[in-house]
């Protein structure tokens, strides 16, 4: 309390001012999906507001609890976070950031089912996603561009029996992921992942 007291103010009023937190968060997701015979295509887009305070993403940023002095320096809580089960990619949001927050993304995709039966589908899907941060100060590099990712998936689905898929992701991280250390900028390298899923339904 002593750090924030103005001799002209009542100590209780000063402390209440420092503890004040305004919560204003916003997010949305939109999905457009279409099919023409064996072809599938669509466009997905989403946005989640961010915050300028230190910390990045889901795994490195807890907004509460905070002390009165810290709350006074940043009186607004504005980081909206998507449910982590809402997957939009393989690497950038799912693995590095932990989920969609402080970002907007644009994801077109294309797919083809070369075996298409009432209860069985074999096919593949290609997608790309570009994202940038809404609050550049909330990223390690202090910049907005997050990255460009390309994903490919091959799958076999049998209704109420079996599901198999293998996916490959390739991420080109951008300046938001830069690490600034003693005025030295360390740029991240390309990230890759291969993931396979086998599921039995019963």
Condensed to tens digits (0 to 9), the pLDDT of residues 82-103 reads 999 999 999 999 999 999 999 9
pLDDT of the residue at 182: 80
Structural tokens at position 101? 């927050």
* Residue for token pair 């077109």: 108
Q: What CA dihedral angle connects 51, 52, 56 and 60, to 10 degrees? A: -80
Instruction: Name residue 193's beta-bridge partners.
Output: 169
DSSP conformation class of 51: -
Query: How far, in Å, CA of 186 to CA of 79, rounded?
Result: 26
The predicted-structure confidence for 154-186, as pLDDT tens digits, reads as follows: 999 998 899 999 999 999 999 999 988 888 889
Tell me the average pLDDT across 8-20. Answer: 61
The predicted-structure confidence for 33-70, as pLDDT tens digits, reads as follows: 999 999 999 999 999 998 877 667 776 656 665 555 55
């Amino acid at each position: 309390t002593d750090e924030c007291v103005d001799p002209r103010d009542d100590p209780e009023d000063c402390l209440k001012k420092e503890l004040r937190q305004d919560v204003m968060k916003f997010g949305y997701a939109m999905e457009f999906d279409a099919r023409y015979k064996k072809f599938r295509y669509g466009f997905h887009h989403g946005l989640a507001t961010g915050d300028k305070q230190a910390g990045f993403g889901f795994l490195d940023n807890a907004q509460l609890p905070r002390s009165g002095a810290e709350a006074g320096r940043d009186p607004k809580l504005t980081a909206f976070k998507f449910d982590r089960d809402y997957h939009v990619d393989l690497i950038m949001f799912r693995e590095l950031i932990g989920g969609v927050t402080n970002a907007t993304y644009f994801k077109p995709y294309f797919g083809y089912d070369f075996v298409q039966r009432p209860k069985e589908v074999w096919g593949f899907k290609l997608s790309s996603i570009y994202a940038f941060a809404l609050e550049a100060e909330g990223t390690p590099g202090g910049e907005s561009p997050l990255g460009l990712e390309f994903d490919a998936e091959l799958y076999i689905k049998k209704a109420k029996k079996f599901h198999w898929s293998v996916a490959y992701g390739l991420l080109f991280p951008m300046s938001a992921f830069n690490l600034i250390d003693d005025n030295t900028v360390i740029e991240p390298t390309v990230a890759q992942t291969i993931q396979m899923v086998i599921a039995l339904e019963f």
